[in-house]
Structure 1
Amino acid sequence: MGDPTREEPAPRPAASPTAGETEQAPPLPARPPPPYVFDAADDVNHNRSHNHGDNHSDNQSNHSRQRDPSPSPQLSPKPAEFAIPRKAVASGSRTPSLTLEINTSQPEDFEGELATNNELPSRDTLRKIGNYIVLDRDGKTHPFKSLFTGSNVARRVLLIFVRHFFCGNCQEFLRSLSEAVTPDALLRLPVSTFIAVIGCGDPALIDMYVSETNCPFPVYTDPTRSLFQALDMTNTLAMGTKPAYMRKSMTRSIMESVVQGIKQIPAGNALKSGDQRQVGGEFLFEPRDLVTPVSTPRAEKTQPVGAFEEPSDKWATNGKGADHREDEEKTVTWCHRMKTTRDHAEISELIEVLGLPAVRVAPQVQRQSSGGGPSSATSQTRKGRGHSMAEQIRKLSAEQSRSPLA
C-alpha cells in the first residue's frame, strides 16, 4: 500500500494508537547541504539551523516553502577542488563598506582666474627646450632656440604665445600690437629687437591668421604644445575682465571666429586651430652676459632683423659678428603668463618693456587705454615680471639722438 516511490517511513512503535488519537507523520530527513558546499560544517545557514533549537521549526518551514513541490533528484556535492566554502561571520561584525573618494575641489579649467605665476624660466629649462620643434607657415621645422639666438637673429626677441588660431581675443591683441609696435619702430632701437608669434594649431592656418590680424611679424606653431607646457602656460576657458586692447565686443569676436572656422571646412582645417583651452603669454629673450657690448655692431645695422633670413655676402664674409652672435647666450628677462583667455599683457606695458619711446606710439596707446595716456603702464597695472634692458635701451637711444653721426 502507499506510493512505492516514497521513502519508507521510520518503524512505528509496537503500541497501537488509542482511539481518538491521530497518527503523526514521520519527520522529514535532514536537508542535504547546498551543492556548492563540500563540507556541511562550513555552511553557516546549515549549522545555524541545527545549532539553534528554537529556530529549527522556522528554518524547516522556510526550507519547505523554497522546495520545489515536484520531486527532484538528489544532488551530490562537488569535488573538493571546486568547493567554495562559506566562512562564518562573528556575531555583530559587519564587512566594512568601501568608500569612494571623489575630488570635489574646483577644476583647473572653466572657472575663475588660474593661479599662475610669472616666475622667469630657469637656465636648465631653456636649455632643455632649445631643441624643441616649431613649424613655420610651410610646415618646415625649426629648433625653438633659432627664434631667439643665432647669427641671423635679433639680439632681443619678444616671443608671444597665442591661443588657437580662431581665437578672436588673441587676434584682437595682435591687431592692436601691430598698430602700436611696428617693425620700423623696432629698427630705430640701438639694439636689434624683434617679435615673433607662436600658436598651437596646424601650420596650414598660419596664412589665414596673418591675414586676419595684419601681423607683420613671423608666426610659428607648436601643435604638440610642448613649449606651452614646458614654460608653465596652462589651460582655461575663463574670459576674465575685458583688457584695454579689446576694441570689439565679445559677441562680435565669437561670430568672427565661427565664420573663420566655417570657411576652413572645405580645406579640412576647421578642427585644426589648436586646443581651445590653451592660453599663452609673452617672454622677452635678451643677452645674459651684460659685459657684452649692449649697442648693436655697426655691421649688424645693415642686416635684416627677421628670423631665418639669409645673410648678405658682406655679412657672411665678416666673421666678427657671426662668431659673437653665435656664442651669445640668451635668457628670459621678463615674462607674463595668461590667467584667462584674454589676459595678454597690455600694449603699453610691452612698449615699456621693449624700451620704445612712448611718444611715437602715444595715439594708439591713448585710444586703447581706458583712462590714461602713454604713461598708463604703471607698476599697479603691470601684468608681467622681470627687469629687461629697457632702461639701457632708452639711454642709448638718447645718446644716439644727440650724436651728430646718428
Structure 2
Amino acid sequence: WAAPALAPITRQVSGHTAAVRVPSGPTAAAPVPSGPEHGQPLAASVAELPVLDANGRRVPFGALFRERRAIVVFVRHFLCYTCQEYVEDLAKIPRSFLQEANVTLIVIGQSSYHHIEPFCKLTGYCHEIYVDPEREIYKRLGMKRGEEVTSSGPSPHVKSNVLLGSMWSLWRAVTGPPFDFQGDPGQQGGTLIVGPGHYIHFIHHDRNRLDHKPINSVLQLVGVQQVDFTGRPSVIHV
C-alpha cells in the first residue's frame, strides 16, 4: 500500500526532500502555528489506528495529540543503538520546557509493548511512549524501509561508532528473548509535528539509521526552549 503524497505544509528543518514536499528557500526554523489553516489534515483512517502503551492498552493514534501539539518520533527498533542514543537525548528534555510551550513529546516504536518498560529504563526516557507492532502507522505515513546512502553527515545525538554500536546492539539481541528483534531491522523512523487536532505541520522521513532530525531544530519549530546535549554543566548567573 502506497501512502498518498501530502501537499506542502511547512518548511523542512533541513533541505532534505521527504514524502511531504516543502518549499525551497531559507531553512531558519520558527514556531509552527496550529490549526486547519496551517496544517495538512491527517486521514481519519490513520488517526483511528491503535498504538499500545506499556500495559498493552490500545489508544487511537489521533487521541495522542487531540488537545495540543505533539512532537512524535518514530524509532527503528528498540535494539538499534542509534535509536537508543537518540532517545537518551530526548530524555534530557525537561518536562518544564515542554509544559511551558504546551507541547507533548511522544516516542513510538514497533516492538511488542512488553519492551517499552525495559527500553525506558535503558534510556532514562520518561515522556510518553507507545508501540505500533504491526507497523501500520509507519506504512500509512510513508516511513521508509531499507538504508539509503546519504551525505547528511553524522548525527549529533549518536556517540558510538558503527562497530561498537553494532556490537552493543548484537549483545542485547543475543542476551534477550530468542528470535525477538524488537521490531523490523529494515524499518526506518521519522519525526512529525502534529496537533492540536488531526493536522500535520511537519514531517521528516529518516532515510537511514543516522538521519534523525537534530532535536533542537525540532524543538525550535514548536517554540520549545533549546537543550544542551553536550553534557557540559550549565552556568548559573547570579
Distance change (3 Å), C-alpha of 1:239 and 1:207: farther
Query: What's the % identity of the aligned pairs?
Result: 23
Q: What are the ranges of 5 or more consecutive residues in structure 1 without an aligned counterpart? A: 1-113, 288-328, 369-406
Does the aligned pair in 2 maintain the 1:135–1:141 contact within 8 Å? yes
**Secondary structure of residue in 2 paired with 1:170:** helix
- Determine which structure has the larger helix proportion and give its number: 1
Q: Is the 8 A contact 1:202 1:272 kept in 2?
A: no
For residues 250-275 of structure 1, the C-alpha deviation after alignment (integer angstroms, 9 at most, x for no partner) is 2221122122212323xx5x424111
**Relative contact order, CA 8 A, sep 6+: which one is greater?**
2
Q: Deviations over 1:291-321 (max 9, x none)?
A: xxxxxxxxxxxxxxxxxxxxxxxxxxxxxxx
Residue number in structure 2 paired with 1:182: 94
What is the DSSP-based 3-state SS (H/G/I as helix, E as strand, rest coil) of the residue aligned with 2:104? strand
Q: Give the deviation of 1:117 after TM superposition.
A: 2.9
- d(CA) in 2 for partners of 1:256, 1:184: 33
What's the TM-score, normalizing by structure 1?
0.46
Deviations 1:83-137 (A, max 9, x none): xxxxxxxxxxxxxxxxxxxxxxxxxxxxxxx9743348842x4312111111111
Alignment-derived partner of residue 7 in structure 2: none
Residue equivalent to 1:285: 194
Q: Distance in 1 between matches of 2:135 and 2:225?
A: 34
Rg larger in structure: 1
Name which of 213, 221, 234 aligns with 2:123: 213
Q: Which has the higher strand share?
A: 2
Of the three residues 16, 19, 24, the one matched with 1:117 is 19
Query: Counterparts in 2 of 1:372-387, with a 5 A limit?
Result: none
Q: Distance in 2 between matches of 1:131 and 1:220?
A: 15
Give the Å deviation of 1:286: 2.6
Counterpart secondary structure, 2:55: coil
2:62·2:198 contact (CA, 8 Å) conserved in 1? Answer: no
Native 8 Å contact 1:183 1:194 kept in 2 = no
- Say if 1:184 and 1:227 are closer, same or farther in 2 by CA, change over 3 A: same
Give the counterpart of 2:80 among 156, 159, 167: 167
**Does the 8 A contact of 1:239 with 1:341 survive in 2?**
no
Whether the 8 Å CA contact 1:338–1:344 is kept in 2: the answer is yes
Question: Which residue of 25, 31, 43 corresponds with 1:126?
Answer: 43
Question: 1:259: which partner in 2?
Answer: 171
Which residue identity does 1:275 align to in structure 2? Answer: D
Q: Is 1:136 matched with 2:53?
A: yes
1:282-361 mapped onto 2 (5 Å cutoff): 282-287=191-196, 329-358=197-226, 361=227
Structure 2 gap ranges (5+):
1-15, 23-38, 232-238
Distance 1:235 1:244 in 2: 23
Q: Distance in 2 between matches of 1:195 and 1:166?
A: 21
- For 1:53, the equivalent position in structure 2 comes to none
Alignment RMSD (CA, Å): 2.2
Partner Cα distance (2:96, 2:210) in 1: 27
CA shift, 1:353, in A, is: 1.2
How many equivalent pairs are there?
A: 198
Query: Aligned AA for 1:198?
Result: I
